[in-house]
Structure 1
Amino acid sequence: MPDREVALELAELRRALEVGLARIDGQLALLVQRSDQIDKAIEELDARVSALERTRWPLPTISALTGLAALGVAVWTGFGR
């Protein structure tokens, strides 16, 4: 009789352990999936930032050229009078 009770307890422990491990496996799979999604989002964000950096370079040049043009107009207007 005690052997049967021990066997039942061991079977219950095994079942509880298997259920717990299955739940942990599911949670780990979910974490891996989320990590993959985050990695993909980071790569897309990096590509977008790189594209913005490439298209941003003319802005300082345009500002400098506008400043030089304004200076040229001011000098031309000053000598023209």
Structure 2
Amino acid sequence: MTDPAPNDTAAVALELERLRGTMEAGFARVDGALALLVQRSDQSERQLAEHETRLGALERSRWPLPSIAALVAVLGLAVTIWQATNAH
């Protein structure tokens, strides 16, 4: 085997430097994409927490409606029975 010529060594070094630049650019793109995914994940988590809060508030404010409807129905029935018994 022969020793590589100094020109070949410079070409290898230049090619390694190009590869390094390409790898750095690729990693920068991947880092940017990951940062975007983390940001979107954080936004989704905030929206989910907000929706959970709103849903909880709706559920708490809704519970009296069926009770009120049942109470009105019972009162209506009582008034009807009272009127029927007083009519005679």
* TM-score between the two structures when normalised by the length of structure 2: 0.87
Which one of 8, 20, 25 corresponds to residue 14 of structure 1?
20
Cα deviation for residue 77 of structure 1 reads 1.8
For residues 76 and 36 of structure 1, what CA distance do their matches in structure 2 show?
Answer: 61
Q: Which structure is higher in helix share?
A: 1
RMSD of the alignment, in Å?
0.8
For residues 86 and 16 of structure 2, what CA distance do their matches in structure 1 show?
Answer: 104
Find runs of 4+ consecutive structure 1 residues off by over 3 angstroms.
Answer: none
Structure number with bigger Rg: 2
Please tell me whether residue 32 in structure 1 is matched to residue 60 in structure 2. Answer: no
1:43-54 correspondence runs (5 A): 43-54=49-60
Identity, in percent, stands at 49
- Structure 1 gap ranges (5+): none
Please tell me whether residue 41 in structure 1 is matched to residue 47 in structure 2. Answer: yes
Cα deviation for residue 73 of structure 1 reads 1.4
* TM-score between the two structures when normalised by the length of structure 1: 0.94
Paired residues, what number?
81
